[in-house]
Structure 1
């Protein structure tokens, strides 16, 4: 980036713009299904899907944090209505169906990556199963991984040890020949892409240049600001070199501007931003307490969360207890513009069991904050299907 004086976005304002674009400043009210829910997913860009379910699955908690009328069956209904599709960004995700044409570039690049790496990483024989799997689906309809590979030796649970036909399914899905048509429990149901993705969506074939431009500009719109690497990583479609070229070209065209973002420690970091962002009024933030998924899009980039919020959400942090570490499913607690703590909780039958709350600096539980936290826990309990919230002795740390 150039050496001239850049507009400065103070840390509080940067947090406010960032959280507002992640739909975490306004009240989490409004319909939690149908088109309003699809609009939330479009605004976020994608929602990461994860199977771990200590309280609620990651995607359910992410959507619930924005629309607390949301319930898990609403997302499955969007998948069945073809308002969204499943594929990869930085990880497995639910993506708006309108974005599907740009995933053709990702399909091609994922195929090339798999062709390079998978022969070393996976059990042998999966490539020989491609035609048989496709023929089975074409003739007999959608399948799960349990429906293919009759007679093949089943290995362990690790992805490197899947039976060959299951690996073939994953390869064909990642490369775009198959699509996820449904979920049974949490098991993916695969079908031929042309039987899942609407014809009008399949009809558009953007050029590589169009998809690179879309991926970068759509990422910038959803983040507000970022380095070329952060913008590239949002959808994980373009290469680092393409991202740098796009930023340089967009800057020359006035589509982005260079700004300096004040970080939590007072230092500054140069980024590309939506033009005028540094001069725009910062969105207002209240004192609402929100419990977020560890995979929430606002915090999933751990390095950015630490720079912007001073919040180190890493599993290896040792807390002030002998031999105790924060688990992967200790949930961040957000209040207004900052993470104020993290909470260890788990669904246990009809009970939401709260085991510990660890405050960040300045995040201790005064009367008001504790009342807001307890209210949020009661709302989480309803999402999880729990009748009540129980607190372990000594849960306030």
Structure 2
């Protein structure tokens, strides 16, 4: 039997549409509109790197150019339309999905506890009751507020004092929730004081959560392997996702297909039959240039992005000189349904200047005057997001 095949152009168009990148980035970028963006994406990765703006702000700005950094906090801390927990990494997640995260919290608790006995300092388990009692009696706290008598260290992010480890563990386990942040510092409170009752008290069976996680991952991916489905939320095991896919193949709600990569190679995948009927109706991505976060949900699966867009997607650039000993991130640049290059830029908060250090176009991408104008407009929008009043271009910033 001949399997249906998605041409590369159709696969890219479907993929971008499911990730909120096929329409123009218009909308208010705040309130209910912003909450809907988060719902549609499912989650937005949170990252501490602030070279230009933090990852979550850049992800949301790429879909709503009117979005500004203060718009997110009310969604999480006032409206409680989203909560912060873990997918493949720390993320802001639509609040309606909280009941499904109960299973992740239960599953990961013992695994993390065992791992952290080897990775962290000794004694964090003995701090659980003290940390919970302090928060119950005195309200939200951060890692600086606990373990006052414990030795702090500058040995790295993994060298937490025991009470900080206890805070993080109790958050991952679900006893505590992140109630707000100051700067980038997390503040924790008892989960029952953070999560709205209708979500806090709701429960799902594990089987229902597996079904929801796989269905909703397929909704957001368009086409996927069982491993890609499992990896999307990181709520199910690969074996559970594989079984779910096998059952859906039997009942016909999923079918096998072939997806053409940018280099012409073919990847076996799964798709809903109804999705094939929508391919001709999908909108073309706008020609507008967007500066993307390296942690954008459309790009975090590096292998999938490389197959679809046909480039060697390296966001880390390592330089042997001491001042950049550990490397640094560059930002993907998208135009329409193509990734056209990577850009190295940095904001100086004191001078309010965003400096463009280098732009490397991808192979076969020509920097025409029209494209350069679109790129400059994108940089201006990013500078506004980052609260930079001016843009400075380094000498010979345009490479290739």
Judge same fold: TM > 0.5, yes or no. Answer: yes
Aligned counterpart, 1:370: 372
- Answering whether residue 102 of structure 2 is matched by residue 92 of structure 1, we say no
Deviation at 1:291, TM superposition (A): 0.7
Aligned counterpart, 2:54: 57
2:388 to 365, 386, 392: 386
TM-score, length basis structure 1:
0.95
What's the Cα RMSD here? Answer: 1.7
Deviation at 1:157, TM superposition (A): 5.1
Q: What does 1:20-99 correspond to in 2, within 5 Å?
A: 20-80=17-77, 81-99=79-97
What do the CA deviations read for 1:74-133 (whole angstroms, capped 9, x no partner)?
Answer: 111111121100001000000000000000111011102112211111100000000000
Unmatched segments (≥5 aa) in structure 2: none
Deviation at 1:326, TM superposition (A): 12
- Cα distance in 1, alignment partners of residues 287 and 229 from structure 2: 29
Aligned counterpart, 1:166: 164
SS of structure 2 residue aligned to 1:276: helix
What do the CA deviations read for 1:290-312 (whole angstroms, capped 9, x no partner)?
Answer: 11001011111111111111122
Q: What does 1:1-397 correspond to in 2, within 5 Å?
A: 4-80=1-77, 81-156=79-154, 158-280=156-278, 281=280, 282-315=282-315, 328-348=328-348, 349-397=351-399
Deviation at 1:318, TM superposition (A): 8.3
Alignment check: 8 A CA contact 1:302 1:312 kept: no
- Cα distance in 2, alignment partners of residues 392 and 45 from structure 1: 38
- State which drifts further: 38-47 or 347-356: 347-356
Deviation at 1:317, TM superposition (A): 7.0
- State which drifts further: 270-279 or 19-28: 270-279
Q: Could you list the runs of 4 or more consecutive aligned residues of structure 1 that deviate by over 4 angstroms after TM superposition? A: 315-319, 324-327
SS of structure 1 residue aligned to 2:62: helix
- Cα distance in 1, alignment partners of residues 174 and 393 from structure 2: 47
- State which drifts further: 254-263 or 282-291: 282-291
Distance 1:317 1:271, change over 3 A: farther
Deviation at 1:253, TM superposition (A): 2.1
- State which drifts further: 139-148 or 155-164: 155-164
- Cα distance in 2, alignment partners of residues 326 and 254 from structure 1: 49
Deviation at 1:279, TM superposition (A): 3.5
Alignment check: 8 A CA contact 1:231 1:243 kept: yes
Deviation at 1:315, TM superposition (A): 4.7
Unmatched segments (≥5 aa) in structure 1: none
Alignment check: 8 A CA contact 2:318 2:327 kept: no
TM-score, length basis structure 2:
0.94
- Cα distance in 2, alignment partners of residues 294 and 287 from structure 1: 20
